[in-house]
Amino acid sequence: MFQTARGTQDILPAEQPYWRFIEKAIAEITRLYGYQRIDTPIFEDTGLFKRAGEYTDMVQKEMYTFDDLGGNSLTLKPEGTPAVCRAYVQHGMQNLPQPVKLYYISPTFRYERPQAGRYRQHYQFGCEAIGDDDPALDAEVIDMAWRFYKSVGLARISLQINSIGCKVCRPLYLESLKKYYRQYEGSLCADCKNRLEKNPLRLLDCKQTSCQSLAEKAPHGIDALCPDCAAHFEKLKKFLGILEIPFQTNHRLVRGLDYYTRTVFEIQPEEEGGQSTIGGGGRYDGLIEEVGGKPTPGIGFATGIERIILNLKKENISVPGAPPLQAYVAYMGQAAGDTAFKVTADLRQAGVSVIAATGSKSLKAQLRQANTLGTVYAVIIGEDEVKAGTATLRRMAGAVQETVPMGELLQRLKCK
Ligand code: HAM
């Protein structure tokens, strides 16, 4: 028997109300903040993701990369940001009023070790504001993420922020990090030893206990910021204060992607830690240039929809169910079957949701099915009803039934 591939899952009908609920919240929050939807292809040129983060684990170890029949190397999107930046450049969006604000809901693929909340295919809601480096925009993106979680009912969340500088100040900071860590090279885990020269920032968020205590005492990025980056970070904090969004500055927050500059942030459920991040993002002032555009700043964030749903369930937050079907049309006998077929079609034409009985089930079995489907009414048509031009209308809850002229059926179903 075939099963879903490891790390992937079916989203069954019973789960769909959560997805519809979140999609509705996304439509509302993006409307409020003036974001427009963009959909980019599921796969892109592998080079795009390599450009965006050559030294990241995601690019080196987690991509679903394949050659197509024409010999082109393609990769299933491991995240949305490089694709949106590519689209911004490809479609000349630098000629639009800046910043351009775009959002997406997209399947995303990472070859990770599957566990609760970590899948090989997950869905991201992400937004990108491209074309302005005003720290007010950083605060606005964080505000949007924060309000979004609140709008779906996740009240107990916390925000961590940091600044990892720019191409002026970061190289100096990286040197001081390397210098610090070289003293302890012998006690680093194998991954950190490998990353020390190429990607020393990532040593700060290593999950190994021995590396964590070294990271605690490592030099802080915010102490090494150039005056422009320091001013940017101060303004961001001021704006978050105006918005009354509580935050913690975490010097170990660096994020797992290479392209970030200045602001980085993550949002987590209050009582859990970094492993359960529900959303994160940051500024990427060099990425558009990296993928072939003119130097253009940008900032964005993304959140995993499955992780939001996990948290909604953990918090016992209920979501509206799908509206019930209005009617089930049951029949007895061949002549009644033809009438039932026509009545069903007419009701649907008039906008009433209907499921019709099929096959040769007994009336009892048909009504049992109506019950299981949760329909509000059953419309029962037998040979007597066909002759009299009537139908039996049965309210399933309480099993109350009455005879209704066929001509009044629609009106009766519509006004309930
Ligand atoms: P990210 O932190 O890699 O950022 O992913 C964003 C969110 O996607 C995570 O916070 C998490 O909720 C969810 N997520 C990531 N990996 C998985 C997984 N394997 N299974 C389930 N959920 C997952 C980015 O992708 C950046 N592109 C965000 C961004 C947008 N930065 C700027 N703009």
| DSSP letter assigned to residue 352 | -
Ligand 1 in contact with 122 (CB < 6 A)?
yes
Mean pLDDT of 165-179: 94
Q: Cα separation of 35 and 33, whole Å?
A: 6
> Contact, 23 vs 106, CB < 8 A?
no
Tally the C-alpha atoms within 13 A of residue 206's C-alpha that lie toward its C-beta: 27
What's the pLDDT at 257? 86
CA–centroid distance, residue 39 to ligand 1 (Å): 17
> Contact, 350 vs 414, CB < 8 A?
yes
Ligand 1 in contact with 128 (CB < 6 A)?
yes
Ligand 1 in contact with 118 (CB < 6 A)?
yes
- What the block records as the tokens of 142 is 């964080």
Ligand 1 in contact with 286 (CB < 6 A)?
no
Q: Cα separation of 236 and 405, whole Å?
A: 68
Q: Give 242-277 pLDDT, tens digit per residue.
A: 999 999 999 999 998 889 999 999 999 987 755 589
What's the pLDDT at 416? 54
pLDDT-based confidence at residue 13 (cuts at 50, 70, 90) = very high
pLDDT-based confidence at residue 354 (cuts at 50, 70, 90) = very high
Phi, psi of 113 (to 5 degrees): -80, 115
Task: Answer whether residue 212 shows pLDDT above 80.
Answer: yes
Q: Cα separation of 234 and 313, whole Å?
A: 37
CA–centroid distance, residue 301 to ligand 1 (Å): 8
Beta sheet of 43-45, edge-to-edge order: 43-45, 73-76, 65-67
Ligand 1 in contact with 126 (CB < 6 A)?
yes
Q: What mean pLDDT is reported for the chain?
A: 95
Cis, bond preceding 99 (omega within 30 deg of 0): yes
Q: Which domains are present in the chain?
A: 13-169+225-314 (3.30.930.10), 327-409 (3.40.50.800)
Q: Give 84-124 pLDDT, tens digit per residue.
A: 999 999 999 999 999 999 999 999 999 999 999 999 999 99
